[in-house]
Amino acid sequence: MKIREATVEDIPQIQIVRNSVHENTLSDPGLVTDADCADYLTRRGKGWVCEIDGQIVGFAIVDVHGRNVWALFLRPEYERQGIGRQLHDRLLDWYFSQTPETLWLSTSPGTRAERFYRKAGWQEAGTYGKGEVKFEMTQEAWMGNNIQS
């Protein structure tokens, strides 16, 4: 298993992972274009992928300009192996090395993702979009989580 910075060459496999998920699915896969992915990877923020045997099995992308986690997804068969947490931690370490601004994300209620973010120390901050749970993470809370880990 290898976690590394994502590149635009990874976008085809990132799209496969994004469209393989069982939770937080896209109503229309065309809503997230390759151009969107490239913009977030090269201009708006940064991303990471997890590779196993040359295949991308998970990815995470953070948007520094919008101060949010744009994506964190795994192929379903690779869940519950700690990959999501490693991608999550890499993303937060990098983000807070760039800015002290509070980071946010949203996810569907009642999902494994919601439980994952609560366990990782994210604080609920209302709702977003079409009834998603909005979470926030401060730099202080993240640094405190890492000191205790």
Residue 85 in tokens: 């947490």
The answer on pLDDT for 28 being more than 60 is no
CA-to-CA separations, 35 to 27, 61, 67, in angstroms, rounded: 18, 14, 20
Residue type, 14: I
How does DSSP assign 11-37, residue by residue? HHHHHHHHTT-SSS--SSGGGS-HHHH
Confidence of residue 149 (pLDDT cuts 50, 70, 90): very low
Entry field: residues in the chain:
149
d(CA 143, CA 140): 5
Q: Choose among 68, 52, 71, 50: nearest CA to 60.
A: 71
d(CA 1, CA 84): 12
List domains and CATH numbers for the chain.
2-148 (3.40.630.30)
pLDDT tens-digit series, residues 79-120 = 888 999 999 999 999 999 999 999 999 999 999 899 999 999
